[in-house]
Structure formats: C-alpha cells, structure tokens
Structure 1
C-alpha cells in the first residue's frame, strides 16, 4: 500500500509537467509496468483527479482542467527548484521579497522531513562581489502586462522611459512618441528582463528593457506568431547592441572604440554596459566597474584594438596594466625543483 501511495503521488507530480504523457513514458518514469500505471490512474480518477485519456496513435494521458495540485505533491527535484526560484526571484522583481519568503516557509512546512531537510540546505545567502553588474528589480505590474500580452499575443503600445523610470513629455529632448508593437518573447538575461517585439510601423524587430518602457494593451485581437531574425531568440537578444540599456551605477565609468562589430561586443559585454554601433567593423563600448583598472581589464578581454579611450583616468589605467603585463613577460622563469622519485 505504501508503494502504491508513493507511486500515485509521483504520478500526480509528473502529469502537470507536460501537456501529455504516453503510457510507456509514465511507466518508465515510475519504474512500474504499464498495467500498474493504468490501475494507479483509475485510482486517482476515483479520487476525482481529472485525468483525461487521449486516444489515437499519439495518445496517452493528461491532467484535465479545474484541479490545483497542492505543494506537497511536488517531487524532490521540483521542490528544490521552487526553493531556489523563490530565493532568487526577489533580486530581479521588485517587491517580491516578503511574499517569496512566506511562500518558501509555507512550502517547507507541508513537505515531508526528508524534502524539508534538502530545502533547508538550499537556504541561500546572497553575497555581492565587486564584479557583479546589478540591475534594479522590475515592477511586477509591468511584468504582468508584458507577460500576458506575450502569452495571449495581444499588440502593445509602448513608450520609452528615461533611465530613472520617469516618462518624458512632448518637447523634452529625450521624448520619443509611443509605438505599437507585437510582443513575441519575454527574455531574462544578465539579471534583466527584455521584450522582443516587432514594430508595426516599419516591421523591424527590436529588443526593449521591460523596466524602461511603459506598456498598455492596444488590441485584444491576437496577432499571428512570427520568427525572430535568425530563428534563435537568445542569439537575437545577446547580439542586439541596442537593448535600451544604460550604464549601471559604478564608482568608475569609461568608454572606448573597439575594432569589432557591435553585435559581437554586445554578446560578451557585461550587463549594464552600452554598445553603440559605429559601422560594420567598429563600435563604442561604455561600461563601469569598481576601479579604472577593472574597466581596463574588461576591455582587454575583447582582444582587439582600442582607440578613443575616455576619460584620462582610464587611459592611465590601461598604461599601468600594460606595464604590469610587460613586467610579467620579462620576468625570468623560476627554477624548477625535481619531483621526489
């Protein structure tokens, strides 16, 4: 009986993980025969769990609508994934700290002792080091608006906000008129939320920082799905040099002209830096760090020619690093000691 109960709980945790399961897949994951799985499914149906049989060559089983699974039906991997997600979400979404902590406590209380011990072991202590490139947490209301529009394929009207989140008024030097877009994807990269959208005015695909736009639904009529240029959403976001980013707040901020295309630099530049397209083979990178030597070190990772380095403090830091590296290459090789035989 205990084995049957454990198997039934495991079955309930598997069903919502996919839109549909074949009988063979369920049997393999549960380590049981297909006849046994059929009996377990019938048992769950008698307990009013709406498990639907899908007929046909590609048939199987799926969990019907109208039933919410309680947290205690998570398996160990799912529980640990939720524990990590609840502890890391507040760093990217504003105002979730208390709610996430309460949800984690509630989830922990209903877990069996073995799972509770595993979750407690993953209580994270978030530490910051000097090489983090932080982003401000995003407003959950903005995230809900954009996320729902992406999910339901509802066109949006968006306004570009200032770096501090305020709205520019007509007549301001940085004012840009609102535009209508088709929101296709919501992407999280380097601690920042990005909207991948197709602009209706010129049919161009662009990437926008969600915390740098004010969005409202402009139509409830769904648009047709389209593929981003190249067909790879991740590559499109990472190689788009104009993502609405502005330099993060740092003790030191500098820039340089690089002999590389903007798309290449955008992919490897730290979050919170700005890549400006100059021509097909050159771009300007603006970034910050905790020291001028830190910026110089990051620039060196691109392994290309640098010009128009600014400000003078960054130029001095580059010279100092070059002198240090030169001294390293000119140092005599230390004598080797023989290994004991």
Structure 2
C-alpha cells in the first residue's frame, strides 16, 4: 500500500512537471508496466485529478486544469525556502508582493511549530532595503505566460517596444527566462530574423493565440545568464570596450552588476571588464568612476579619448593644484 501511494505521488509529480507524457515514458520513469500506469491514472481520476488521455501511437497523458490545487509535499528545508522566498518575493514583478503575503500566511498556518519559529525569527530580525530606483516592472501574468510557452515549446506572438518606444510584432520560439536583479529577459529564437534574440519582459505584450509547438533548438550558450549579461551590457551598445581592472574579480563585482558588464578573472589578481555604452564619452565616465586602477585594452579610440580627457582635466586645474 505504501509503495502504491508513493508511486501515485511520483506519477502526479511527473504529470505536473511536463505537459504530456506517453504511456511507455511514464512506465519507464516509474519502473512499472504500461498496464500499471493505466491503473494508477484511474486511481488519480478517482481522487479527483483530471488526467486526460489521448489514444493511439501519438497519444499520451496530461494533467488538466482542476478546481482544486493538488496536495503539496515539502520537506523541512523546502518549506523554509518557500516561506523565505515568499517573504522576499518578486523583484521587478508588478503587483505580486500582496499575493506573496497572502500565500505566506496560508503556508505559515500549516507549518509545524519548529519551522514556524525559524521563519518567524528570520522575518522579525530582517529589515528589507528598498531601492530608490525601482525601475520597470513586469506583470506577473505575462511572466507566467512566457514561462508556460517555454515549458510547452509553443511558439509565442507578442508586441515588443524597443528603448525608443517603437513597437514591432514578433513571433519567436521561447527558450528560457533569465532574471538579472530587477530585470527579466526572455531568450528566444526569432523566426523572422532567424537568430537568437533577448527581449526585456517588461516590454512584451503577448498577443494570443500562440502555437504551434516546435522542436527545441540547441541554446545559444551553455551559460544563459552570461549570454544575457553580454547582450544587455555590451553587444547592445554602439561602443564596446575591454578594460583591465587591477582588482580581484570579487571586488570589481561589487560595483559591476551583470547588466552593466561582464567580468573575467586573469592572473595577478586582476580582471577583465567587457562593457558597452552609447558613446565613448559615457564609457570614459563609467570606467573612471568605478574607482579602480585600470588599463584600456580596446578599442584604440577609447585610449585616445582617455588622453583627451586627461589633458582637458589637467588644463582645468589651477597652477597651485598641479603638485
């Protein structure tokens, strides 16, 4: 009986994690026969779970929308992690803070005393620091729609506003969402441009219907976070530069977030900064105000602009200051 119950929970977990499964795939995952899978599916239906099936060689099983949420099984560490995540949720997501508080209240009601005390202590002795520059936010419904399209490998149609506010219509094969501090980005294959693109989620307005489904492509990089960081901090700008910062990478990272530039450790306790800007003058100010000793590696035009700025600053100083 315990073995059957555990298998039912495992089957339910598989159905929740994937849009559709074939009978043989489920049998292989569960280590049982296809006949046992059919019996287990019937038991889930008897318990009120809407498991839909499609006959034939191309058929399979999928979990439909139900009137009730299925039971959620969490171990101690998972329960604490969910509670902490709800308390600190949702940087850059519009209107989700209140929803998170309601969900946290429900979770705390069912937490055992030992876990409730841990979560309460963390909440009581933590003071959130709210940034004065909140920046743009993305609607939670848009995020879930994008995530669902990624999960289901379903073509996505949307209107997209660029940094000038101009709108274009896009059809893409979505791959992943990437979160960088308060910004959310969608990495997708643009079917019209036949190339990978990165889209700011707060500039996306979905325009259903979506589909059809597609075969996932090989992603543009193994490290999608680094890929997006390069795109939004460097390659998106007219001027790009590589600068050697004479500080360790972990020190530079305190002043250079992923949306500003990418960092690479090099020998001698230094690191390479790759970044971009709309103009060389902006680049000069950006690099100088980091406050680190540095050496411009490329482009040569930035070296020349640095010399011009140095000479201009030197001429601006009164004679008494040139000591």
TM-score computed with the length of structure 1 as normaliser: 0.54
Question: What residue in structure 1 maps to residue 257 of structure 2?
Answer: 270
Quote the Cα distance in structure 2 between the aligned partners of 1:93 and 1:157: 21
Question: What residue in structure 2 maps to residue 127 of structure 1?
Answer: 129
Quote the Cα distance in structure 2 between the aligned partners of 1:159 and 1:302: 42
Give the counterpart of 2:208 among 217, 239, 247. 217
Give the counterpart of 1:197 among 188, 195, 210. 188
Deviations 1:129-157 (A, max 9, x none): 79xx7543321122122222222222223
Deviations 1:213-259 (A, max 9, x none): 2232354210110012234423322322479989xxxxxxxx98634
Give the counterpart of 2:229 among 238, 241, 248. 238
Distance 1:17 1:257, change over 3 A: same
Quote the Cα distance in structure 2 between the aligned partners of 1:138 and 1:294: 28
Distance 1:162 1:257, change over 3 A: closer
Quote the Cα distance in structure 2 between the aligned partners of 1:259 and 1:294: 13
Task: Please state how far the C-alpha of 1:195 moved relative to its aligned partner.
Answer: 0.3
Q: Could you tell me whether the CA contact under 8 Å between 1:186 and 1:194 is conserved in 2?
A: yes
Distance 1:127 1:294, change over 3 A: farther
Question: What residue in structure 2 maps to residue 161 of structure 1?
Answer: 161
Question: What residue in structure 2 maps to residue 304 of structure 1?
Answer: 296
Q: Show the 5 A alignment for 1:140-151.
A: 140-151=140-151
Pair 1:74-2:71 in alignment: no
Pair 1:258-2:241 in alignment: yes
Deviations 1:89-129 (A, max 9, x none): 23221101111111111211221111110111221421147
Deviations 1:70-103 (A, max 9, x none): 46x4321111111121122232211011111111
Give the alignment's Cα RMSD to 1 decimal.
5.0
Task: Please state how far the C-alpha of 1:193 moved relative to its aligned partner.
Answer: 1.0
Residue aligned with 2:127, SS: coil
Q: Show the 5 A alignment for 1:322-337.
A: none
Question: What residue in structure 2 maps to residue 53 of structure 1?
Answer: none
Quote the Cα distance in structure 1 between the aligned partners of 2:261 and 2:111: 45
Residue aligned with 1:91, SS: coil
Task: Please state how far the C-alpha of 1:209 moved relative to its aligned partner.
Answer: 1.0
Task: Please state how far the C-alpha of 1:304 moved relative to its aligned partner.
Answer: 3.2
Q: Show the 5 A alignment for 1:79-98.
A: 79-98=79-98
Residue aligned with 2:79, SS: helix
Question: What residue in structure 2 maps to residue 186 of structure 1?
Answer: 177
Quote the Cα distance in structure 1 between the aligned partners of 2:204 and 2:104: 31
Deviations 1:156-201 (A, max 9, x none): 23333255xxx94xxxxxx353222111111212332110011112
Pair 1:207-2:198 in alignment: yes
Residue aligned with 2:90, SS: helix
Distance 1:81 1:75, change over 3 A: same
Quote the Cα distance in structure 1 between the aligned partners of 2:227 and 2:208: 24
Pair 1:104-2:91 in alignment: no
Residue aligned with 2:207, SS: strand
- Count of residue correspondences: 245
